[in-house]
Amino acid sequence: NAGVTQTPKFQVLKTGQSMTLQCAQDMNHEYMSWYRQDPGMGLRLIHYSVGAGITDQGEVPNGYNVSRSTTEDFPLRLLSAAPSQTSVYFCASSTQSHGQGIYEQYFGPGTRLTVT
């Protein structure tokens, strides 16, 4: 049981390049989400998904796209990278109750992205 995995661990992009951050979980969790962490800001929610085919925006969605075609995978796409997207990105997953919301979140190891 690997939990939540993320690839790559590190990435350097030039402004305007595109890339996809990968996230996978093997716990059969319906709920998955992406966060970014900037110094002094804590973690901020980018996008989340309550199940395959369903995604929604979080606090800071601009510049990022997501899709959820399977329960296991939730990739995050940067279509045209900007220096403001330099950050550490975390993926998380959890079970959920459709009446009570999300339960305990489990986080991946993170991807450190630098945009020059």
Residues that bind another protein (CB under 8 A): 31, 33, 35, 40-45, 48, 50, 56, 58-59, 88, 90, 92, 96, 100-107, 109-110, 112
Decide if 75 contacts 91 (C-beta within 8 A). Answer: no
107 vs 31: CA distance, rounded Å:
12
> How far, in Å, CA of 97 to CA of 83, rounded?
37
Distance separating alpha carbons of residues 75 and 23, to the nearest angstrom: 6
Least gap, CB of 16 to another protein (angstroms): 27
In the bound state with another protein, the residue whose beta carbon lies nearer, of 78 and 110, is 110
Helix count and strand count (H, E) for the chain: 0, 13
State in angstroms the smallest separation of the CB of 11 from another protein: 15
For another protein, give the closer residue by CB, 27 or 88: 88
Q: Given the complex with another protein, which of 67 and 107 has the nearer CB atom?
A: 107
**Closest distance to another protein from the beta carbon of 81 (Å):** 21
User: Smallest distance from the beta carbon of 29 to another protein, in angstroms?
Assistant: 13
Residue 91: CB atoms within 10 Å: 27
